[in-house]
Structure 1
Amino acid sequence: MINNDLLRDLAEDKVVLFLGAGVSASSLIDDRPAFKGWPEFLAGAAESRESALRDQVKRLIGAKDYLLACQLLQDSYEHEWQELITAEYGKVAQPSRLHDSTISLKQRLVVTTNFDKLLETAWANSISAGARSFKVISAVEEGVFRCLKDYDTPYLIKIHGSVDDTSSMVFSRSEYIKLAFANTRYSNFIDALLLNYTILFIGFSMEDPAISALMELYAFNYPGARPHYIMAPQGGGSNIAEINKRLRKLSMIEYDPVNNHEELPVMIAAMANAAKSKKREILAARILAAA
């Protein structure tokens, strides 16, 4: 059962779709993920390093300190690092059912931490000839705030940068500090989204330290505000759900993760159809009220 408040917000285009690495991971090449996740990418990059650094990186990956592991590797590779990233995340791949179902929600603002170009491809594929296209913003700079009131234009905002502009990418600890933690525009922008829209997280684990901290500040500063939502696999535990609800004002919409999360795009497609019906219902009610 879809939450009625979320359904109405979808129907009125008041939802920000916030997409994480799980969305990119759903795209396949030869039945394997098109792009490596952070742990696999970092472990692979460490293989050609000297043994002490390799072991150090593996320990950090085991502790899920990916930012520090990435920083050590970036410092080791120096100028070759950008080529390594581009070789992995710049590959040509096709969007998955999850990409397509997410775009079918037809929301004006899509935010992602992913570097790849799959969302651009999926969104472009969904647009009819002659229809208004979307704008892509690949850095949280001053101009990003225009999207909040540019109501006629859809936006894809890649808050951690894009593979076609490696200087914009937030991948290591130093980049994260510079472009996220120390960037007041970053926190102000996320706070503006939290206050003015309903956010639906898809393929996002809430392990991102900046985003989770901003969610917790939001919940602390605005205890009476409405919640946001996250699509989450079953089995996370009721205590995790309670923490998300209490400390982050984040309601979990659970799905069965079996068979490579195949239920998730089905649920989202159903949500899109329900939102379409709700939109027709709202328009009919407004026409009757105006008559």
Structure 2
Amino acid sequence: MASFNADLLDDLARQRVVLFLGAGVSSSATTRAGGRIKGWERFLIDACDAVEQGLSTQVRQLIEAKDFLLASELLQQALGEVWERMIIEEFGQMADPSELHDATISLDQRIILTTNFDKLIEVSWEAKLGNDTHLPRVVSSLDAGHFSILKDHRGKYLVKIHGTVDNPNNIVFSRSDYIRLAFGNPTYTAFLEVLLLSYTFVFIGFSMDDPAIVSLMEMYALRYPKSRPHYILSPKGRPDNILEINRRLRKLLAIQYEPDASHSHLPPLLRDLAEQMRQKRREIFAAGLSSMAEKSEMSSGEVVEQPDASLPNGGNIEE
């Protein structure tokens, strides 16, 4: 059994964790056509086949340099409506949720954030609702009203911060999209900063290539140097200097797992984390009952057992 940070387990038990899902989660699922939903880089490389040779060469050079935003901007500008159709065709594919999707949902958190455009997370979440009576609310365009998510301790939310395939016009993909909907949107940055201060983030299937998210993490670490860290699931073997940059500049600690091409060790690690979270939740619930019983005995000599309102579902544990 893996060893996890005690503060992280406590936050998970109290649903004070935001699960931040990247493209690696989507690509873990097999589509109905038998393939995988492409990541940002693969999608752009394949899109180069739809433009003339000179532009294709230019864009491929940008992709090789990891300047995905500018590469996307040039392709979007050249392809027009074809670009939108390509996005719908790729990210609108149907797929059965993967083991990684199921393991992620088993962590039983209230808020999931993602930069993914596809529909796989909501499909998986709806299939694993357990005793919940309402579907998670999907938010794909942030405005000031969505700060109410912080106060709604009963509802569950999937926040698709870069848009959804259902509305390609509001997808954040190219440089101009980032300026319009991310970097240039004060609600976007304020919402994420408040979440970073209020919750512990756990990044799953996320490579830290996204400039908007990396910038926010670094500004957060600079402004709040004494705040608690966040976590990223990462295969072993990453260079120590990169891990140190994540710790020092982004307050981001790595939870490492054994590497292989399919990341097969990641779902079992998440299930282990979920089981330890459930055990911690039981301990908190039992401690709450004991404390209430002691107070009741001191005041009236009678023991009155009530659930801990600070825990999900009043402390009821779903196995």
Q: Same fold (TM over 0.5)?
A: yes
RMSD (Å), alpha carbons: 1.4
Q: Is the radius of gyration larger for structure 1 or structure 2? A: 2
Alpha-carbon displacement from aligned partner over 1:12-34 (angstroms, at most 9, x marks no partner): 10000011111111112489652
Corresponding residue SS for 2:262: helix
How far apart, in 1, do the equivalents of 2:130 and 2:243 lie?
40
Q: Does 2:9 correspond to 1:10?
A: no
Conserved? CA contact 2:32–2:93, under 8 Å: no
Corresponding residue SS for 1:156: strand
Post-superposition offset of 1:190: 0.8
Counterpart for residue 171 of structure 2: 169
What TM-score, normalized to structure 2? 0.88
Counterpart for residue 184 of structure 2: 182
Matches within 5 A, 1:215-234: 215-234=217-236
How far apart, in 1, do the equivalents of 2:34 and 2:252 lie?
31
Unmatched 5+ stretches in structure 2: 294-319
Matches within 5 A, 1:91-170: 91-128=93-130, 131-170=133-172
What TM-score, normalized to structure 1? 0.97
How far apart, in 2, do the equivalents of 1:220 and 1:70 lie?
30
The amino acid across from 1:49 in the alignment is: V
How far apart, in 2, do the equivalents of 1:265 and 1:279 lie?
21
Unmatched 5+ stretches in structure 1: none
Q: Does 2:194 correspond to 1:192?
A: yes
- The farther-off stretch of 7-16 and 137-146 is 137-146
Identity %: 50
- The farther-off stretch of 31-40 and 248-257 is 31-40
Conserved? CA contact 1:26–1:33, under 8 Å: no
- Runs (4+) of structure 1 exceeding 3 A deviation are 29-33
How far apart, in 1, do the equivalents of 2:167 and 2:33 lie?
28
Post-superposition offset of 1:143: 2.4
Q: 1:91 to 1:132 in 2, by over 3 A?
A: same
Counterpart for residue 278 of structure 1: 280
Conserved? CA contact 2:31–2:93, under 8 Å: no
Conserved? CA contact 1:25–1:35, under 8 Å: yes
The amino acid across from 1:200 in the alignment is: V
Conserved? CA contact 1:16–1:111, under 8 Å: yes
Alpha-carbon displacement from aligned partner over 1:158-203 (angstroms, at most 9, x marks no partner): 0000001112210111001110100011110110011000010111
Number of aligned residue pairs? 291
Alpha-carbon displacement from aligned partner over 1:205-250 (angstroms, at most 9, x marks no partner): 1111111111111111111111111101111111111111111111
Q: 1:254 to 1:31 in 2, by over 3 A?
A: farther
How far apart, in 2, do the equivalents of 1:53 and 1:44 lie?
13
The amino acid across from 2:80 in the alignment is: E
Q: 1:33 to 1:193 in 2, by over 3 A?
A: farther
Q: 1:28 aligns with which of 27, 30, 47?
A: 30
Conserved? CA contact 1:194–1:218, under 8 Å: yes
Q: 1:63 to 1:259 in 2, by over 3 A?
A: closer
Conserved? CA contact 1:25–1:33, under 8 Å: no
Post-superposition offset of 1:44: 1.3
Post-superposition offset of 1:131: 2.0
